[in-house]
């Protein structure tokens, strides 16, 4: 019910302006690498892994809404102990609207999977997000923060999902005489199982190149 409510809100914002204003303005493409650190804690102990993840994002920007499709994949290995190595795969699809120039409201599914020799753990998160940005140097440097919460969540392991939330902060810099932007960000994402059975967190440093208008 909550996820449908978010989609309804974004639909109302998008329909509140003339259809002529919704003609696609541009496409964008982001390529990024990140260094995630995955930590799992439970009453019986925990594990920590890290690795390298590569991915990309396609942005279809309209007025007043935009659509972001992202995918990333990498491999995590144990930092300490004998935790099994695993692949991490993530994908998301977000519809966003800007009620004011500096604020974007987003909603959509975020999928995450950890593939290990003993099986694959799959998360499905329906997230609501808020993204705020502010210029440091007009047209060249931009700082931003983004926060999110899963309004609905599920996972294929017992005892089930208890929710997830996260945040991101970073800066983007326009490369001189170029349509390219560089982005440096720090991301933290946390998901929990029911009854305090386990907490999983992913902390990442992200470096990206963005092409196209913003």
Distances (CA, A) of 62 to 67, 146, 174, 184, 214: 8, 20, 21, 25, 11
What's the per-residue H, E or C state across 71-114?
EEEEEEEECCCCCCCEEEEEEEEEEEEEEECCEEEEEEEEEEEE
Give the single-character DSSP code of 116: E
Q: Where are the domains of the chain?
A: 2-211
pLDDT tier for residue 214 given thresholds of 50, 70 and 90: low
CA distances (Å), 77 to each of 40, 62, 132, in order? 13, 40, 34
Q: Which two tokens stand for residue 29?
A: 């493409």
DSSP label at 2?
H
Please report which confidence band the pLDDT of residue 21 belongs to, taking 50, 70 and 90 as the band edges: very low
The β-bridge partners of 124 are: 111, 154
**Band of the pLDDT at 107, cuts 50, 70, 90?**
very high
Q: Is residue 99 within 8 Å of 13, Cβ to Cβ?
A: yes
Q: What is the mean pLDDT of the chain?
A: 88
Fold assignment, 2-211: Lipocalin (2.40.128)
| 185, 210 contact by CB (below 8 A) | no
Predicted pLDDT at 140: 86
Mean pLDDT of 59-86: 90
Distance CA 97, CA 9 (A): 10
pTM: predicted TM-score of the whole model, two decimal places: 0.84
pLDDT value at position 18? 41
3-class state of residue 118 by DSSP: coil
Backbone dihedral angles phi then psi of residue 180, each to the nearest 5 degrees: -90, 145
Percentage of the chain modeled with pLDDT above 90: 71
pLDDT tens digits, one per residue of 132-162: 999 999 878 999 999 999 999 999 999 999 9
Tens of pLDDT, residue by residue over 40-65, are 999 988 899 999 999 999 999 887 89
Rounded average pLDDT over 189-205: 96
Q: Confidence band (pLDDT; 50, 70, 90) for 105?
A: very high
The C-alpha atoms of residue 125 and residue 191 are separated, in whole angstroms, by: 10
């Amino acid at each position: 019910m909550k996820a449908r409510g978010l989609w309804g809100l974004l639909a109302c914002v998008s329909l509140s302006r003339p259809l002529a204003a919704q003609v696609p303005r541009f496409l964008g493409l982001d390529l990024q690498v990140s260094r995630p650190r995955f930590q799992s804690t439970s009453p019986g102990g925990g594990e920590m892994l890290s690795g390298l993840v590569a991915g990309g994002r396609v942005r279809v920007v309209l007025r007043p809404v935009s659509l972001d499709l992202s995918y990333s994949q990498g491999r995590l290995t144990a930092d300490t102990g004998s935790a099994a190595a695993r692949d991490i795969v993530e994908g998301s699809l977000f519809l966003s609207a800007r009620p004011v120039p500096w604020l974007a409201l987003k909603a959509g599914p975020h999928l995450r999977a950890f593939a290990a020799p003993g099986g694959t753990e799959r998360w499905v998160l329906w997230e609501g997000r808020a993204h705020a940005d502010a210029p440091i140097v007009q047209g060249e440097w931009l700082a931003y923060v983004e926060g999110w919460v899963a309004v609905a969540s599920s996972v294929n392991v017992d005892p089930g999902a208890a929710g997830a939330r996260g945040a991101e902060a970073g800066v983007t810099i326009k490369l001189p005489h170029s349509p390219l932007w560089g982005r440096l960000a720090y991301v933290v994402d946390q998901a929990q199982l029911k009854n305090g059975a386990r907490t999983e967190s992913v902390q990442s440093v992200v470096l990206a190149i963005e092409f196209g208008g913003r």
